[in-house]
Amino acid sequence: MIIKIKKNAVQSEVANLLDNLKAQGYDIHSSFGETVQIYGVVGDTAKFDTRSLYAYECVESVIRIQEPFKKVNRKIKSEDTIITIKDVKIGGNNVVIMAGPCSVESLEQVEIIAEKVKASGAKILRGGAFKPRTSPYAYQGMGLEGLKILRQVADKHDMLVVSELMDAEHIDMFEEYVDIIQIGARNMQNFALLKKLGKCNTPVLLKRGFANTIEEWLMSAEYIMAGGNDEVILCERGIRTFEPMTRNTLDISTIPVVKKISHLPVIIDPSHAAGKWDLVESLSMASIAAGADGLIIEVHHEPEKALSDGAQSLKPKKFDDLMKKARVLAEAVNRTV
Ligand code: PEP
Ligand code: MN
């Protein structure tokens, strides 16, 4: 529920209104523009008689939000959220490119790949140090050592680091070594983890679960924001459908749909959607054309030897070709890669 306050309202009456709502157990989130004063009322408002609020003279209008998410909602914040980390902006007119291996395998491997993807225009280095593998016998990642490698190499090339967090016990470690915490598809509804992320100061890249609706995905973002962390980047990485020709089905319509209802940046992971390197370029172009705020792409210099996801990893030269095309396309749609 959103309450818009009259322009010249008596502030003591506004305080009285807010106190009464808090006394009923609701959380209040405020948003102040030049001339508007708006409050988001968070809690179970389903049974609330919104008309009763018009008894307060200071209330101009009350909107019952159909959607259960509030802080992620464009109705409460109309302008796009732009997340600034050092000199990189995510959201707005930018198409930010994150690239790197699926898994960190060694310092040498990350060094080779980072140098290439940076030269092609990637600003953020990706790499998994803690890997969510379907099989417990598959490569699990280098752990803390992997995070240290990412940090060291990214600093050398003036890049940011994004890496996946799986365990709440590692949050402090991640805050020390990464610029963006990735929450993978498998943990999108790990609510205990999301709540803890709400209390940290590092931006979160929240992947959509492969069997989750857009509303469930936005509700997970809401968990993080409700905890106090406003810096959430949404990432569509393909969902499970009946179609076996691709690893997942890239739901390209999430871009216009989410942008309409939320102010958060939306990026696309064409690698996990496709599962095959030769589809990555087409899906990347489609994503930029549809208005994505960025891409996260797996790149490996020796994909045949990669310890995970080699089949969907681009070689650096192919990534460079993709970046050249991406720049031309982005310019055509008034955006900057
Ligand atoms: C990854 O980015 O390497 C990864 C495991 O992604 P997802 O959570 O989308 O499967
Ligand atoms: Mn991967």
Share of the chain above pLDDT 90, in %: 91
Q: Ligand 1, atom 9: nearest CA belongs to which residue?
A: 185
Pocket test for ligand 1, best of 193, 205, 237 (most atoms within 8 A of CB): 237
pLDDT (tens digit per residue) in 79-125: 999 999 999 999 999 999 999 999 999 999 999 999 999 999 999 99
Q: Please list, in sequence order, all residues whose beta carbon lies within 8 angstroms of the beta carbon of residue 109, skipping any fewer than 6 positions away.
A: 101, 300, 301
Give the mean model confidence (pLDDT) for residues 206-215.
97
Tell me the pLDDT tens digit for each residue of 159-193. Answer: 999 999 999 999 999 999 999 999 999 999 999 99
Average pLDDT, the chain: 96
| Distance separating alpha carbons of residues 299 and 82, to the nearest angstrom | 26
Going by C-beta distance under 8 Å and a sequence separation of 6 or more, which residues neighbour residue 300?
101, 102, 109, 113, 306, 310, 313, 314, 315
Q: What is the per-residue pLDDT for 46?
A: 63
Cα dist from 197 to 128, 226, 227, 268, whole Å = 18, 10, 8, 21
CA 327/CA 56 separation, integer angstroms: 53
- Cα–Cα distance between 113 and 21 in angstroms, integer? 54
Q: Are 163 and 150 contacting, i.e. CB atoms less than 8 angstroms apart?
A: yes
Take atom 8 of ligand 1 and give the residue whose Cα is closest.
184
One-letter amino acid of 243: E
For 2-63, which CATH superfamily applies?
Answer: Phospho-2-dehydro-3-deoxyheptonate aldolase; domain 1 (3.30.70.1140)
CA 103 to centroid of ligand 2, rounded, Å: 7
Please indicate whether the domains covering 2-63 and 83-332 agree at the CATH topology level.
Answer: no
Mean per-residue pLDDT for 9-34?
93
Give the span between the Cα atoms of 174 and 198, in whole angstroms.
14
Nearest CA to ligand 1 atom 6: 184
**Angle subtended by helix axes 144-156 and 107-120, to nearest 10:** 40
- Paired tokens of 56: 């307060």
Handedness of CA 133, 187, 147, 89 (dihedral sign): positive
- 272 in contact with ligand 1, CB cutoff 6 A: yes
- Residue 237: CB within 6 Å of ligand 1? yes
Tens of pLDDT, residue by residue over 243-284, are 999 999 999 999 999 999 999 999 999 999 999 999 999 999
Domain residue spans of the chain: 2-63, 83-332
> Of the bound ligands, which one is closest to the alpha carbon of residue 310?
2
Element (H, E) at 96: strand 96-100
Nearest atom within ligand 1 for CA of residue 131: 5
Ligand 1 contacts CB of residue 116 (under 6 A): no
User: Measured in angstroms, how far is the CA atom of residue 7 from the centroid of ligand 2?
Assistant: 51
CATH 3.20.20.70 fits 83-332, yes or no: yes
Cβ of 122 less than 6 Å from ligand 1: no
Strands 37-42 and 27-32, how do they pair? antiparallel
Q: For residue 127, give the ligand nearest its CA.
A: 1
The pair phi, psi for residue 314, each rounded to 5°, is -85, 145
